[in-house]
Structure 1
Amino acid sequence: MRKKTFFLGLFMVVLGLFPSFLAAQKAKYWYDLLNVIRREKFDLVLPHALRDNQVDMWIHVIKRGDPDPLELDLGGSMGYFVFTDRGGERVERAVFGVRFAEFADWSIYDYVGEEGELGKYVAERDPKKIAVNYSQWLTVADGLSYTGYQKLVKLLGPKYAQRLVSAEKVITDFRTRRVQTEIIAFAHACEIQREIMEKGLRKIKPGVTTLEEIGWWAQDQLLKHGLPISYLGCEGPGVIWSAGSSPEELDRPDYIIQRGDMLLWDWGIKYLNFGTDYKRYAYVLREGETSVPPGIQKAWETVMKARQIIKRTIKVGLTAGEALQAMVRALEKEGFIYTPFTDIGPKDREIVNSLGDSEKPGISIDCHCVGNTGNSEVAVGPSIAPFRPDRAHLRLNPNNLFAFEFIVHVWVPEWKRRFRLNLEDNAILTEQGVEFLYPPNEKIILVK
């Protein structure tokens, strides 16, 4: 009887562990998925990224202990990553100086060598233009330190050191030209965020819930998904208009959400090698209310109208600057007044307020790239915005992931001031036009 009991207990222990083994396969799936993406990017995107920019060789340097934005793209934690266009369908791949390095898949590289071999390897291929990761304006392409550059020059010798150029264009094309597995993964990240944000806003209890409680709750949801959290504070919703609270009260993270508050949540999450960035709105109904106030509803209807105009205007093949001009023309034709942002601060408020009680709605545009990061200021790719002229020349390619973002402001007579709404969702630009990867923001969430 004791023997039977022992084996029954052992069986229950094993059975209890079994689900954890199954759960562990999620980590293996993510690892395998990144390997698939990496291999497909090397096979399908990299040849065009080099040739379209007339680059024969791309050397990306990652120093040990100095994390680089392209670690997951290239699959290694340190080394000299060398990609050479030798005229065939496939780009040759090699990596040097990788002692103590972590690599996801060594087989993706054709040759692995010592640091001292780099100069000979380059000379044998005699590239006319060598792109390297330094840039004055693109953070992702500026990981090479000054001392790292000096060392690279010494390894290559004076002949090939003179052929070094910035890899900013190569890296831009390599990252922004997407394979299908990337698009699927990014869409999944967007959907995770949407579910968390919309559920979080609906959990608000007026007079009880604080702004930061929603933010920290969202961080806990990321932990449940096995995703990175922020250790620099939580990004919860903010109050952009309140029927009863003062502006000074609204700036406090421990502010208790009240009835009559209009909330805006601007957030982004990280998943694998991807980052999102978009917004959601909620309104806390006052006693007896069944919908948002007329002024807010008027602004929302105007926002929806603007989105349709912009959506049908953005086309593959335009530069970011050309797309901005086309959008402005289309919006002005429909009665909007273009109020371009300049500094995201006092000057912009002056521009908005200068319209006064004009019945015409004003609009500002910031359709920036997303994908590998949700940070609009460091994301690689074209930016359809007047305050990023250094990216206006970049062309909108098929499968361009971007933040479909703009601000509309309208005059609200009962408030005697202009009210603004900033709409943002992540989308993809295809040959057919703009397509959403998840259900976009169609309505203001009503909190009862």
Structure 2
Amino acid sequence: MLSTIWLGVTSIIFILNFVQGQLHPQNPAKYQPLPLLRERAAIQNQWTADRISRIPSLLKKYNAQAWLLCQREHAEDTLWWSIKNATDYDAHRRTVLLFHDNKSSMAGAANPLKWIDNTGDVWPELLDTLEHLNPERIILNTDEDISFAGGLHAGELAVLQRELGDRWMKKTANEPMLAVEFVATKLPEQLEYYQKMQETVWAMLEEGFSSKTVEPSITSTEDLGWWFREQMQVQNVTTWNHPRVSVVTPKSFPGWEGSENIIQEGDMLHIDFGITAMQLNTDTQHLAYVLKGSGAEAEIDAPDGLKEGLRKSNRMQDIVLENMRPGLTGNTVLRRSLHQMELEEIDGQIYCHPIGDWGHDAGSVMGFINLPQYVPVLGDLPILPETYYSIELFAYHFVPERNATIRFLQEENVAWSHKSQHWEFVRGRQEKFHLIGSHEKRAITFSDQTTQL
């Protein structure tokens, strides 16, 4: 009896949560121009300087006095891409960076201390600096599991072992969370530009998934994917993730490779793509529907079964964000979310990841496609505040109109809000299908007639 009551309660909660949405932006998205490249570089360099200024406090947090990076041109440490000047495209010669805690005789010195060398002169100078600094613990990026903390190339490690000798090498240590926290942490000033990027993504989606771009029986999913790439060029952004457009079928797993289908009326379309600008990355998955028919007999909306599937994946987003708190591990959030999904009788999969400097950024993850319930190492990291996340997942839903169970994939980016103490969608989330078809032409005609009246 109690279990029956509980199921009834959870069903009511499920229905109520379905109508709680209202996070789909009410106004059409507009392309948001970013500053000219020269101005972007100045802004990025200020961000980088501000982030680097936090390193002494991170060293203190992780009980270290120095952080040593050693890299060569074309063999950069992974961390290099988060600390370099905006106009640097690789490390020059051998580039050695020594971050320090600003204490003792090093107080007031440049941080990091930097050497660019191809003669070997760096080594006696570095040894002399270490004598003055006298660190008890020097961090090297040698982690075996986390790429952001494992970027020291084998050849550079061998050189360090030879040039620093046993005295200093015995004081080196691996501390992966130092690099993870540095890369993952975003500045409040970055959010304004990230919001502009997200609205541009939505503007691309609204234009790409429309009759302006798609002609059923003519346009292919491959054509549409390349349209998005060309539009990125127009908007002066690039990508870390080639747009992958697919026709969704019960057997397909859209998003990984895209498809080469000719788009037809009645198709449900899926896209997975991201844009890159100002050392920031986005990652988005949306769904579209191609309306059937024309004139008075034309569809004006997607079938109810498809809309229910979209709402179900929206509810999964809610569940993840309700459980996702800084300090918890990704695996804890994943376990709690899967438990809530089970209570609400939702079948699906969660695979959320940090995003920011990289499309798949530093930090804890919640599931992988091939690891749906527990992720070793990365899933056991703590979720950090002041970061961005991609809430990536899918819900299974039986669609009566198709007599088939279909995956409804969604992905939206969120940022931590100190004001609300919750994660908030950077632009909003998709709660309605992008509709491609004659409804757009009728809307234009009606608008024209209204104008004439």
Question: Is contact 1:46-1:91 (8 Å) kept?
Answer: no
Corresponding position of 2:227: 217
Choose which of 37, 56, 65 in structure 1 pairs with 2:65: 56
The CA deviation at 1:391 is 1.6
Contact 2:146 2:378 in 1 (8 A): no
Q: Which residue matches 2:370?
A: none
2:232 partner letter: L
**1:38 to partner: Cα distance:** 0.8
- Counterparts of 2:84 and 2:383, CA distance in 1: 27
SS in 1 for 2:111: strand
Find 2:80's aligned residue among 59, 71, 84.
Answer: 71
**AA paired with 2:96?**
Y
Shift of the alpha carbon at 1:415? 3.8
1:401 Cα deviation from its structure 2 partner: 0.8
Are 1:223 and 1:229, in contact at CA under 8 Å, matched by a contact in 2? no
Which aligned pairs between 1:247-286 and structure 2 lie closer than 5 A? 253-286=259-292
Q: Structure 1: how far apart are the matches of 2:374 and 2:272?
A: 20
Deviations 1:166-193 (A, max 9, x none): 2421110101122112333333332322
Q: Residues of 1 paired with 2:362 and 2:387: CA distance? A: 11
Quick one: distance in 2 between partners of 1:402 and 1:91? 35
Contact 1:131 1:167 in 2 (8 A): yes
Higher relative contact order, structure no. (Cα contacts within 8 Å, ≥ 6 residues apart): 2
Pair 1:25–1:438, CA change in 2 (3 A): closer
CA, structure 1 residues 246+325, in 2 after alignment: closer, same or farther (shift >3 Å)?
A: closer
Q: Pairwise CA RMSD of aligned residues?
A: 2.9
- 8 A Cα contact 2:221 2:245, kept in partner: yes
Q: Secondary structure at the match of 2:38?
A: helix
Answer whether contact 1:237 1:265 (CA < 8 A) is retained: yes
1:197 alignment partner in structure 2:
205
1: CA distance, partners of 2:228 / 2:290: 19
CA offsets 1:74-107 (integer angstroms, 9 cap, x no match) = 225241111111459989613343148xxxxxxx
Deviation at 1:425, TM superposition (A): 0.2
Separation (CA, whole Å) in 1 of partners of 2:252 and 2:397: 22
The reply on whether 1:26 has 2:29 as its aligned counterpart is: no
Residue 174 of structure 2, aligned match among 148, 166, 177? 166
Alignment of 1:13-162 (within 5 A): 26-43=36-53, 45-75=54-84, 77-78=91-92, 79-87=95-103, 93-99=111-117, 114-162=122-170
Q: Give the C-alpha shift of residue 306 in structure 1.
A: 2.6
The structural deviation recorded for 1:291 is 1.8
Matched, 1:373 2:389: no
Q: After superposition, where does 1:265-414 map in structure 2 within 5 Å?
A: 265-287=271-293, 288-333=298-343, 335-336=344-345, 361-375=346-360, 379-385=361-367, 386-414=373-401
Which whole-Å CA distance do the structure 2 matches of 1:414 and 1:25 have between them? Answer: 47
**Separation (CA, whole Å) in 1 of partners of 2:114 and 2:436:** 57
CA distance in 1, matches of 2:146, 2:405: 36
Alignment equivalent of 1:235, drawn from 224, 229, 243: 243
**1:253–1:269 distance in 2 versus 1, CA, 3 Å:** same
Aligned to 1:350: none
Decide which of 181, 184, 193 is 2:192's aligned counterpart.
Answer: 184
Q: Secondary structure at the match of 2:429?
A: coil
Q: Judging changes above 3 Å, is the alpha-carbon distance between structure 1 residues 413 and 200 closer, same or farther for their aligned structure 2 residues?
A: closer
Post-superposition offset of 1:420:
1.4
Preserved CA contact (<8 Å) 2:239 2:274:
no
Q: Describe the shift of the 1:384–1:289 C-alpha distance in structure 2 as closer, same or farther (beyond 3 A).
A: same
- 1:394 to partner: Cα distance: 1.9
Q: For 1:260 and 1:90, how far apart are their aligned partners in 2?
A: 66
Shift of 1:159: 1.0
Q: Please name the residue that 2:425 is paired with.
A: 436
Contact 1:316 1:430 in 2 (8 A): no
Write the deviation string for residues 230-260 of structure 1: whole angstroms up to 9, x where unpaired: 7xx9523111139xx999xxx8854321101
Report SS of the residue matched to 1:82. strand
- CA positional deviation for 1:427: 0.5
CA change 1:447–1:91 in 2 (3 A) is farther
**How many angstroms apart in 1 are the aligned matches of 2:190 and 2:304?**
41
Other-structure match for 1:351: none
CA deviation after TM superposition for structure 1 residue 58, in Å: 0.7
Shift of 1:138: 1.8
Q: Which residue of 1 aligns with 2:26?
A: none
What letter matches 1:388 in structure 2? V
Alignment: residue pair count? 378
AA of the residue aligned to 1:81: L
Structure 1: give runs of 5+ residues left out of the alignment: 1-22, 101-112, 337-360
Q: Which runs of 5+ in 2 are unaligned?
A: 1-32, 86-90, 368-372, 438-453
Distance 1:229 1:405, change over 3 A: closer
Secondary structure at the aligned position of 1:33 is classed as helix
Aligned residue for 1:50, secondary structure, equals helix
Cα distance in 1 for partners of 2:375, 2:216 equals 40
1:413 is displaced (CA, Å) by 4.4
**Contact in 1 for aligned 2:181/2:384 (Cα 8 Å):** no
Cα offset, 1:201, TM superposition = 1.4
Residue by residue over 1:302-331, the C-alpha shift from the partner in whole angstroms, topping out at 9 and shown as x without a partner, is 222232233223222322222223323333
CA shift for structure 1 position 382: 1.0
> Contact conserved, 1:34 with 1:272, CA < 8 A, in 2?
yes
Take 2:398 and 2:35, find their aligned partners in 1: how far apart are those partners?
Answer: 54
Q: Show CA shifts across 1:187-233 (max 9, x none).
A: 33323222222211112111121112212221112222222357xx9
User: What's 1:425 paired with?
Assistant: 412
Q: Is the 8 A contact 1:129 1:165 kept in 2?
A: yes
1:430 to partner: Cα distance: 3.1
Residue 49 of structure 1 contacts residue 171 of structure 1 at CA under 8 Å; is this kept in 2?
no
* TM superposition score normalised by structure 2: 0.76
Q: Please give the secondary structure, in 2, of the residue aligned with 1:419.
A: strand
Distance 1:205 1:68, change over 3 A: farther
Separation in 1, partners of 2:259, 2:385? 41
Query: Which secondary structure does the structure 1 equivalent of 2:227 belong to?
Result: helix
